[in-house]
Amino acid sequence: MLKNNVLPNNTLIPIKVISTGVALPSEKIEALALDKKLNKPAGYSFKRSGILYRYYANEDLNQADLAAQAINDALVRSSINPQSIDLLISSCAIPVQALPYNAAHILKASMLPKTLTTFDINCSCVSFICALQVAAGLLNSGTYKRIAIVSADLASRGLDWQDEESSLIFGDGAACAIVEKGNGTSGILSCLFETYPEGIELCEIRAGGTRCNVKTAMNESDFLFHMQGKQLFKLASLLIESYLHRLLMQANLTLEDIVTVIPHQASHLSLEHMRKRLKISNDRLIDIYRFRGNQVAASIPSALHEAIITQRFKPDDPAMLIGTAAGLTLGGMILLP
C-alpha cells in the first residue's frame, strides 16, 4: 500500500488495465522430452534452463493468429465488446514479415473492427511497457478511449539448436492488455527507458531487413538468435542497480513500497538475481518462467496477466514492470493498478 495513500508528487499519468488475456500454442515441450532429444541424462535441460515446460508453435501457426487469440481471451474474460476498441497496438519484438507492419496482420486475424486504427511499437522485450506509456499519452490527449495492446512472439522460428544456451530458454506465446484512461486513481507513477547500444550485438537476429538480405549477403545463421548470454547478463547486472534507483526516484518511492514486481522472464539467472537484489519474497515476484520460458516481448504482459488472475495487481498497491531487452535497453514502469 502506498505510504499515506497519497500520490507522490501528483505526477500520476492516468491509465487503467481493464482486462488481460493470453494465448499459447498447443504443442508443449517438456524438459524431460528435450533431454531425450538432445541425448542428455534426465534432468539436464531443467537444471541448465530452469524450465519444466514451454510452448512451441508448429509450422502452420501464424504469429498474428496467436496474437488474435490473446486479444480474444482478453475481450471474453471481461465481456468487452470488440467494437468498443478504438486502437490496436502490436508490441512484438520480431515481426511476421518485413512489410506490412504486424498490427495489420493481427487485425486481419482478429474479430476487432475491420477498419480499426493499428500500428506497431517495438522496443524488443520491453515493447509492452513502451506501448503502455504510449497508450497513456494517447488516452490522456483524448485521442483514443479503449486500446488493445498485444505482444506475440514465436522465438522457436529463430532457435539455433547448435547453441544450447539460447535454444533451451525461449518459448512461444502471446498476451494482450486492454486499457482505458480510468477515473484517475490508477496510472503511471514513473517510467524509464535507457538504451545502451554498446550491447546491440549481444542479442540479435541479423536477417529480416535491409542489413542481411538477397541484395547484400546472408547465410542461414543470420536468421537465428545470436545471444551472448553471459556478457548480456554481465552488462545488464552492471547497469540495473543505478537504473532501478532512477526509476524509483522518479516515483518518489523506495523498493519497499513496491508490492508486486512483474519482470521480463528473461532467464532463470535473471529472475534469481532480481529476487536476491530486490530482497523480495516469492509471492511478490511474478515468476512464470518454469512453465513458459522466455517469451520475448510476450513475457511481460503474460506475467502481468498472471499477477492479475492471482490477485497480485490491486488498487493502491504499486507494481513494477521491469526488463532488459535486446538493444541493450532497460525498461521499467511503476504502476498504481
Chain positions 241 to 260 lying near its own copies, rule: CB under 8 A, are none
Q: Does 231 bind its own copies (CB under 8 A)?
A: no
Min separation Cβ 228 and its own copies, Å: 13
Shortest distance, CB of residue 250 to its own copies, whole angstroms?
11
Query: Considering beta carbons, is residue 204 or 287 the nearer one to its own copies?
Result: 204
Q: Work out whether 216 is an interface residue with its own copies (CB under 8 A).
A: yes
Is 32 a binding residue for its own copies by CB under 8 A? The answer is no
Give CA–CA dist 38/5, Å, rounded.
Answer: 53
Question: What is the rounded distance in angstroms from the CA atom of residue 218 to the CA atom of residue 213?
Answer: 6
- 196 part of the interface to its own copies, by CB under 8 A: yes
Neighbours of 233 (CB within 10 A): 17
Beta carbons of 243 and 228 less than 8 angstroms apart: no
Report how far residue 73's alpha carbon sits from residue 309's, in angstroms, rounded to the nearest whole number: 13
C-alpha span between 324 and 309 (Å, rounded): 24
If you count them, how many residues does the chain have? 337
Residue 29 beta carbon to its own copies: minimum distance, rounded to whole angstroms: 15
Q: How far is the CB of 14 from its own copies (least distance, A)?
A: 9
Stretch 54-93 residues interacting with its own copies (CB under 8 A): 59, 62-63, 93
Q: Binders of its own copies among 97-136, rule CB under 8 A?
A: 97-105, 107-108, 114-124, 127, 130, 133-134, 136
Phi, psi of 319 (to 5 degrees): -120, 145
**Contact pick of 212, 235, 255, 269 for its own copies (by CB under 8 A):** 212
Nearer to its own copies, 46 or 193 (CB): 193
What's the closest the beta carbon of residue 231 comes to its own copies, in angstroms?
Answer: 15
Q: Which residues contact 336 (CB under 8 A, 6 or more apart)?
A: 2, 7, 12, 185, 186, 187, 188, 189, 315, 316, 317, 318, 319
